[in-house]
A and B are shown apart, each in its own frame.
Chain A
């Protein structure tokens, strides 16, 4: 089986600032793959390039057997890549359920005419969307809050809602951008259990995280970026002992 995500010499520069420098990456199906690095290393930029929100300046990105380097974000989502955001980006005035139902947008097709006139086909499709959205909410434990406004949720639950919404797109690859940010130890443990369950259900997970307990605890492999360049890659054990990684985070010993 081909690797689920491959990046070959992916570079991105913004007006002269090199945010990513020839990064190579391979993620195998079913892995939990971690991406770490100091602030500003280019991690979120890498996510943006993979999901199409920024266009790579050079290099190739392949999803399974399809090249996705220059494709539009919504097309990439339809191909099976979903993400959460570093700063929570929920649809704050919509309900929890509606947020999850948005995830099903790319898996449904009724447009203007059928929606306006509520054809039987559209009503059926709405039923399916609703059901799948509820399933996603249930998976993360938020089904009981379906009719609450998204911005009325406490922080930890908002993060889980973002994950549910991403899951509702029925992805094969899930990108999580600092899902544990701002969580207390108990919430973090629940999050790690959730990520394990997501992997167990057949998805591959690509994870940016600063909380080392999470990263070392659940990732199969980890890649380290610094100033846009890959400086190390390997198992958690290997990364923890890698002098280049230690140097990047802590600076050189005098």
Chain B
């Protein structure tokens, strides 16, 4: 039983991070009906920029982290402006191709600048991993931090989207992109904001991963990006609460699978979940089936 709880705890930790990354995918898809293939690299950029600020510029964690979030949020906005916005009215294919291009570009840019070897990630002293044992389950303080910070962010985002003017503007744009401008909503601003928020949150996810696994590398974006994307689809792509649930679920599934079946299972589980979803229930847990007008 304690084995089960142990895996559960680990799963919830990792799941929280997946949820944060998944939010970026789901928010962008919700508004633009577009899968941002480059989002995994954005998360990686967060990890690297944070690493750079802390190890190369010696900035303390509490300064480096907000700076990273802002920088990556800007990165997301810039990418949207350059690579996606000009294609907004063209065919569906264009942005998908440029997204792949941006993803390759960012990955290799990081490799060119930082080299391909993984680097250790600095751990600030107040986050030192104190180990606790609760009822046979081992957990450390970092896990607690990650979990609570993620929950805080998710609650904050949920409140923002449902109770603020801008948040309502986002939901209105999601529902009807053509009508929204008629109601005084500036499409460009809303979309930029969505990218900024999604990217900034993903950056935090990147830093958390750096702290948790003590490693960052230019290729770290691909797998978590895929897993987070699966989480978003699992929860119902376009649905913010769904992304949170999906992230947690996948994190838990991964760890339970690794614990009870095999550790190689970890890599494959997200993949299998994705295939299963695509084959049987594309709209995920909380999504709705979309219909095209003839």
Contact = CB atoms under 8 A, between A and B. Distances in A.
A170 to B, nearest CB: 23
B175 to A, nearest CB: 16
A14 B291 CA distance: 10
A44 B293 CA distance: 10
A237 to B, nearest CB: 33
A63 B116 CA distance: 67
Contacts of A53: 294
- Size class of the B contact interface (CB-based, 8 Å): under 10
Contacts of A54: 294
Interface string A25-63: 000000000000000000010001000011000000000
Q: Is the interface of B mostly helix, strand, loop or mixed?
A: loop
A219 to B, nearest CB: 23
Contacts of B291: 14
A54 B291 CA distance: 11
A161 to B, nearest CB: 19
A87 B207 CA distance: 50
A53 B292 CA distance: 11
A54 B292 CA distance: 11
Contacts of B294: 44, 48, 53-54, 85
A53 B291 CA distance: 13
Contacts of A14: 291
A85 B294 CA distance: 8
Interface in B12-35: none
Interface in B242-294: 291, 294
Nearest to A48: B294
A108 B19 CA distance: 53
A85 B293 CA distance: 12
Contacts of A85: 294
A54 B294 CA distance: 9
B283 to A, nearest CB: 13
A53 to B, nearest CB: 6
A158 B294 CA distance: 18
Nearest to A47: B294
Nearest to A85: B294
A44 to B, nearest CB: 7
Contacts of A48: 294
B90 to A, nearest CB: 13
A48 B294 CA distance: 8
Contacts of A44: 294
A53 B294 CA distance: 8
A94 B22 CA distance: 40
Interface in A202-234: none
A14 B290 CA distance: 12
Nearest to A45: B294
A129 B291 CA distance: 35
Interface string A64-94: 0000000000000000000001000000000
A27 B294 CA distance: 24
A97 to B, nearest CB: 24
B130 to A, nearest CB: 53
B214 to A, nearest CB: 50
Interface string B148-165: 000000000000000000
Interface in B21-66: none
A8 to B, nearest CB: 23
A14 B292 CA distance: 12
Nearest to A89: B294
A44 B294 CA distance: 8
Nearest to A44: B294
A181 to B, nearest CB: 16
A233 B205 CA distance: 64
B279 to A, nearest CB: 22
Nearest to B288: A15
B263 to A, nearest CB: 44
B147 to A, nearest CB: 38
B289 to A, nearest CB: 8
B19 to A, nearest CB: 29
Interface string A1-40: 0000000000000100000000000000000000000000
A140 B52 CA distance: 69
A30 to B, nearest CB: 28
A218 to B, nearest CB: 25
Nearest to A86: B294
A86 to B, nearest CB: 8
Interface of A: 14, 44, 48, 53-54, 85
6 contacts: A14-B291, A44-B294, A48-B294, A53-B294, A54-B294, A85-B294
Closest 6 CB pairs of A and B: A48-B294, A53-B294, A44-B294, A14-B291, A54-B294, A85-B294
